[in-house]
Structure 1
Amino acid sequence: MLAVLRIAFLILYFPVVCVIGLVISLVRPFNRNNSRIIAMIFAWSRYVLNLRINVIDRPDPSIQGIYVANHQSTLDMYMYGKSCPGNMAILGKHSLLYIPLFGVLFWLAGNIFIHRGNKKKARDAMKEAAAVVNSKGCSVYIFPEGTRSNGRGLLPFKSGAFILAIEAGLPIVPICASSTHKNIDLNRWQSGECRLKQLPPISTQGLQRKDAKQLAQQVHEMMAAEIESMDRQLERG
């Protein structure tokens, strides 16, 4: 019953935050700090969920890079606010544009859409993103799995984030979140803990586009190991 009430709250909270985010974005359209502010407002829901968010290593605002995070469920948007660096754009699939209210917000907040099903449009989007980060000096936040894992563990990474990092000459900055399906139960009064940890930046200097898949695999292995380590720590209490 408690989980039903909390999910109902999240459903109602979602459009409220979207409206607040639209007001913020209309006042300062395409500002590179809009997405972080909106993500932080989404994360306020943790007080109703009675969910502990433990940030082990906060994002370093001095690092301009391509931030890659594991994508687990819809809960991510209510938890990941503290893992978002300032001065960033989020890279999301084009279908997000058609979500009522949220799609307009995502665009107006200054984020970037990518056509994953169309290779030419995807390449163009990566060039656009590289141009944005180079001209604006901003970071990009991406879920390299491309979809939610929903309890299946860390899914294989798509190459886009790593191609972007190589083309823009920026480091990859992994953000790891502990497994929510193992450690969070919305039916409990204290629903659990999510740990967020930023790993050291991984340089892309000297790499070429053809190295993207190998880089993706390297980062995947690092993140999978860190997520497993955090899960073991949470299991031990």
Structure 2
Amino acid sequence: MLKIFRIIVITLCCILICTLGTIYSLINLKNPNNVAIVARWFGRLYPLFGLKVEHRFLETLDTSKPYIYIANHQNNYDMVTISYMVRPRTVSVGKKNLLWIPFFGILYWASGNILLDRDNRSKAHSTMKQLSERINKDEISVWMFPEGTRSRGRGLLPFKTGAFHAAIEAGISIVPVVCSTTHNQVNLNRKNNGKVICEILPPIDIQGYTKENVRDLAEHCRNIMQQHIAKLDAEIAQEKLE
């Protein structure tokens, strides 16, 4: 019964956010602050899933500068956990077929996100170049999931290099954003589904990296994120014991 109630309330809330977010974004069409505003609306829904989410922001991060934010992509619950971490003047890069998702698709476009045709590799490479040019021209940051797909309990998947090519091309630092493991954590019939920690890590300088060794940069970032996710998981496990 609790699960049915939650599904109804969550669905209504998501439709409401998508509707209001679309109206707001159409009024402020493609404004780079739209994404962070709407992402935070979704990020406020976590109590409906029986979750307690702790958001750890990096106070020393200069958000007036553009960055490439890279985050781990676990499952659909990312919408109410790590989405809250999106900073102002940050847009995301997503698959072109997101446009066809009812309610969400038009919101994703209107809020100023970038749609990428991942089935066309040559076009995707061109998009990364255009992306770096837009970063410097409009002084925006970009949020990307370098795994390219949801991990669904398989751990941190190998990283694709698009985000790192864009960072090198634009000459900007990479900021990792991590979320503790949520695989199999949420049971909508259970009142309390535990704690999740989301954290922004210090920027990673891309100096010394070029397109020739971009995979080394990707692996370096992945190792940092993997180690910190394990640290967050251990912290949550220890809290449960206490």
The reply to whether TM is greater than 0.5 is yes
Question: Bigger shift: 27-36 or 206-215?
Answer: 206-215
Q: Which residues of 2 match residues 34-113 of structure 1 at below 5 A?
A: 34-58=34-58, 60=61, 61-113=63-115
- Indicate the SS of the match to 1:100: coil
CA contact (8 A) 1:39 1:80 kept: no
Residue number in structure 2 paired with 1:32: 32
Distance 1:232 1:176 in 2: 14
> Once the 2 structures are TM-superposed, how far is the Cα of residue 57 of structure 1 from its aligned partner?
2.9
2:150 corresponds to 1:169: no
> Once the 2 structures are TM-superposed, how far is the Cα of residue 108 of structure 1 from its aligned partner?
1.1
Tell me the percent identity.
38
> Once the 2 structures are TM-superposed, how far is the Cα of residue 182 of structure 1 from its aligned partner?
5.5
2:19 corresponds to 1:6: no
CA contact (8 A) 1:66 1:139 kept: yes
Distance 1:47 1:150 in 2: 21
TM-score of the two chains, using structure 2 as the length reference? 0.92
Structure 1: gaps of 5 or more residues: none
* Residue in structure 1 matching 2:156, options 154, 161, 166: 154
Provide, for residues 94-124 of structure 1, a one-character-per-residue CA deviation record: whole Å limited to 9, x for no partner. 1112222322211111111112221111012
Distance 1:215 1:48 in 2: 38
Residue number in structure 2 paired with 1:190: 192
> Once the 2 structures are TM-superposed, how far is the Cα of residue 90 of structure 1 from its aligned partner?
0.5
Whichever residue aligns with residue 110 of structure 1, its letter is: G
- Indicate the SS of the match to 1:37: helix
Question: Bigger shift: 95-104 or 35-44?
Answer: 95-104
Residue number in structure 1 paired with 2:207: 205
Distance 1:58 1:183 in 2: 26
Distance 2:133 2:70 in 1: 19
Question: Bigger shift: 119-128 or 28-37?
Answer: 119-128
CA contact (8 A) 1:184 1:194 kept: no
CA contact (8 A) 1:58 1:82 kept: no
Residue number in structure 2 paired with 1:118: 120
TM-score of the two chains, using structure 1 as the length reference? 0.94
- RMSD over equivalenced CA pairs, Å: 1.7
Distance 1:167 1:139 in 2: 14
Distance 1:182 1:227 in 2: 16
> Once the 2 structures are TM-superposed, how far is the Cα of residue 3 of structure 1 from its aligned partner?
3.5
Distance 1:76 1:69 in 2: 10
Number of residues paired by the alignment? 237
